[in-house]
Amino acid sequence: MSDTPILSIRDLTAKVADEDIDILKGVDLDLFKGEIHAIMGPNGSGKSTLTKVLAGHPGYEVTGGTVTFRGEEILEMEPDERSQAGVFLAFQYPVEIPGVSIANFLRTALQARLDEGDELDLFDFQDDLMARMEMLEMDPTFAERPVNDGFSGGEKKRNEILQMAMLRPTLALMDETDSGLDIDALQVVSKGVNRLHEENPELTILIITHYQRLLNYIKPDRVHVMLDGRIVRSGGPEVALALEAGGYEEYRVADAAEAAEAARGS
């Protein structure tokens, strides 16, 4: 591991574009090359917002702070530029695109990564796609189905990992990939992610989840607890286990005490 983090977030604040109150209230986080981090936290703590802000969702507005990815400030970049730079977001709620097949979609996305004038090798593409679908135990006919249109929750999540496998990012943000998955699907998806990490040990992963369950299959190096727009605790995998046992209450209490202290100090 190098000394410079691949992703460095400093005092990041952000809000929904047409609202006033910040959801992220000063996030600090460093991810080093090849690490797997997990952010846990209750609903509304801002953890999904963080992934959307990192990927450049136009519905959010950054109000302060910096995000550096591979030494480059990315907050001014369009979502497609971030993707081309190596950021991938596996959506919590993948969008349905009627009339556009998965194969066509992925072909276009991969073609967009090539220099002008370069043509994607369609045979290689087809081979790669079939191999990846097999890895994720997806039926080959899936490739011709419209993106997420009429997919079950599990199929949508597999499709996210399929895209991740095809696009080969350097940073994968996985937003509640485990939600809506039964145990079999969870295992398939986790196996897929682990496989990608084995193939490319430099792949850095940030997992957002409510539950410890997923972390039984994808082992994190670091676990962070997010509460009310801030990371309130960071540690090893034991943090997740403690959360599973004790919930978020102690952090809420700690948070309140800290706030009270801050108030007294001012």
Partner 1 sequence: MSETTIIDQPIGGLMEGITDVLNATAVATLSAGEPSWLQERRAEAWSAYERTPMPTTRLEEWRYTNLRKLLKLERLGFDGIALDAATPADEGFELASAPERLRTAMEADREASGHLVEIDGRVVHVDLDAELAAKGVVLTSLRQAVVDHADLLKEHLATNALPASRGKFQALNAALWTNGVFLHVPRGVRLERPVRVTRYLTEGAAGSAFFNRTLILADAASQVSFVDEGLSADFDRQTLFSSGVEVMARDGAQVQYVSLQRMGRGVFHLQQQRTLAGRDSTLDTLNVSLGASVARTDLNAQLLGPGANSDMLGLCFGEEGQHFDHNTSQDHVAPHAKSDLLYKGALDGNARSVFRGIIKVHKGAQQTDAYQTNRNLLLSEHARADSLPNLEIEADDVKCSHGATVGQLDLDHLFYLMSRGLSRTQAERLVVLGFLGEVLSRLPLGGVVEKVTRIIEERLQQG
Binding residues vs partner 1 (CB under 8 A): 55-59, 78-80, 82-84, 88-89, 91, 94-95, 97-100, 104-105, 108-109, 112-113, 146, 163, 167
| Main-chain phi, psi angles of 103, to 5 degrees | -60, -45
Rounded to a whole number of angstroms, the minimum distance from the CB of residue 217 to partner 1 is 25
Contact assessment for residue 142 and residue 133, using Cβ atoms and an 8 Å cutoff: yes
Distance from C-alpha of 26 to C-alpha of 64, rounded to nearest angstrom: 8
Rounded to a whole number of angstroms, the minimum distance from the CB of residue 224 to partner 1 is 23
| Main-chain phi, psi angles of 31, to 5 degrees | -120, 130
Q: In the numeric block, which tokens belong to residue 200?
A: 């490319």
The residues, any chain, with a CB within 8 Å of residue 234's CB and separated by 6 or more, are 222, 223, 224, 225
Residue closer to partner 1, measured from CB, 39 or 162: 162
Q: What's the one-letter identity of residue 142? A: F
Length of the chain: 266
Contact assessment for residue 118 and residue 146, using Cβ atoms and an 8 Å cutoff: no
Residue closer to partner 1, measured from CB, 159 or 212: 159
At 263 the three-state DSSP class reads: helix
Contact assessment for residue 69 and residue 111, using Cβ atoms and an 8 Å cutoff: no
Rounded to a whole number of angstroms, the minimum distance from the CB of residue 98 to partner 1 is 6
Residue closer to partner 1, measured from CB, 166 or 189: 166
Rounded to a whole number of angstroms, the minimum distance from the CB of residue 167 to partner 1 is 6
Residue closer to partner 1, measured from CB, 94 or 237: 94
Residue closer to partner 1, measured from CB, 88 or 151: 88
Rounded to a whole number of angstroms, the minimum distance from the CB of residue 56 to partner 1 is 7
